[in-house]
Amino acid sequence: MSPFRKTSKPRHSRHPVRLAAEPDLTVVVPLFNEAQSLSELFGEIRSVCGRERLDFEAVFVDDGSTDGSWDELEALHRKDRRVRAIQFRKNFGKSEALSAGFAAARGRVVITMDADLQDDPEEIPNLLGKLEEGFDLVSGWKRKRRDPLSKRIPSKFFNRTTALLTGLKLHDFNCGLKAYRKEAAKTLNLYGELHRYIPALAKWHGFRIAEISVHHRPRKYGRTKYGLSRFLYGMLDLVTVMFLGKFTQRPLHLFGSIGLLLALGGGGITLYFVLMRIFNQMYLSRRPFFFIGIVLLILGIQFVSIGLLGEMITRSNANARHYSVRRTLEG
């Protein structure tokens, strides 16, 4: 069954349009200092959804902007109640912004896109069409990417490395333009730089993933937020993604396995030299492997302890939230 429906005809009114109780579509837009593009972006979203006869809402998440973005969102909200907005107290990052947008989404389908106008709202029908084929998440692929080399080269490295390590054969893991069934969006727990690896996280939750080529436009306003720190953090978060995919609910399996191997090896070495000391009167101070065995035994016990602590933390922080909301605009 289709996750969305079309209304009989587009709705036109001089009065501010109000949000449906359960819209067909929620468009989640994380943003940071994108005041110049917000009105134009919403106009394009509204035009596409009107032409496709879709009930929709747009949830803008202001990630601590300092350029008047919130004022623009307030103005849009006054004109059209389908505009909803969340403002963070400071800049928490794109993952937290997406997480807040997913939590607020009411639509049966969730579309994400960046606020810089590089993601084209005209791709919304294509994403929805692919979703109807039975997939839970459809990720965009910026086949002809309109970005400088400083962004394209690291992106290719991340995409190829992530595809190799996760076994998910996608060309573009970090494209901002994606479509989700509601249950998929609500399941994801994003923080740090994990938004780069959303398809991999969704795969490990058992959701069906697809990819389509999408139109990517040059940046029209402002400047890119990409920097060297994001490259370094992305490397570290790739390790996090691999850990989350296999051991997030059972950290003891990873640390405990390593710990048991170290403890068995260290314990065997130590026992051997102790027996040699008892029966052969061997001087252990002249046997460096005896001390290596003791170190391995201690490390093994520590790894098992880390695994147990990880299990406790996993249980206690299951519902933790990693962002702080200052205020919201609702329909």
Domain ranges of the chain: 25-247, 251-315
CA distances from 227 to 116, 154, 238, 243, 322 (A): 17, 11, 17, 25, 22
Q: What is the pLDDT of residue 276?
A: 79
Q: What is the pLDDT of residue 245?
A: 65
Q: What is the pLDDT of residue 225?
A: 61
CA distances from 106 to 103, 181, 239, 328 (A): 9, 11, 32, 15
Q: What is the pLDDT of residue 252?
A: 73
- Per residue of the chain (331 residues), what is the pLDDT tens digit? 455 555 544 444 444 566 666 899 999 999 999 999 999 999 999 999 999 999 999 999 999 999 999 999 999 999 999 999 999 999 999 999 999 999 999 999 999 999 999 999 999 999 999 999 999 999 999 988 877 777 777 778 888 888 888 888 999 998 999 999 999 999 998 887 889 889 998 998 889 999 999 999 988 887 766 555 666 666 677 777 767 666 666 677 778 888 889 999 999 988 888 887 777 766 666 778 888 888 999 998 998 888 788 767 766 665 566 565 777 887 6
CA distance 226 to 246: 29
Q: Pick from 244, 164, 178: which is nearest to 211 by CA? A: 178
CA distance 209 to 170: 9
Q: What is the pLDDT of residue 280?
A: 75
Helix or strand run (H / E) with residue 85: strand 83-88
Q: What is the pLDDT of residue 8?
A: 45
CA distance 191 to 324: 13
Region of 24 (left: φ > 0; alpha: ψ -120 to 50; beta: rest) is alpha
DSSP state of 319: T
Show contacts of 320-323: CB within 8 Å, 24+ apart.
322/92, 322/95, 322/96, 322/99, 322/191, 323/88, 323/92, 323/96, 323/97, 323/99, 323/100
CA distances from 255 to 250, 267, 300 (A): 9, 17, 9
Placement of tokens 């110049």 in the chain: 36
Class of domain 25-247: alpha beta
Q: What is the pLDDT of residue 258?
A: 85
Q: What is the pLDDT of residue 1?
A: 46
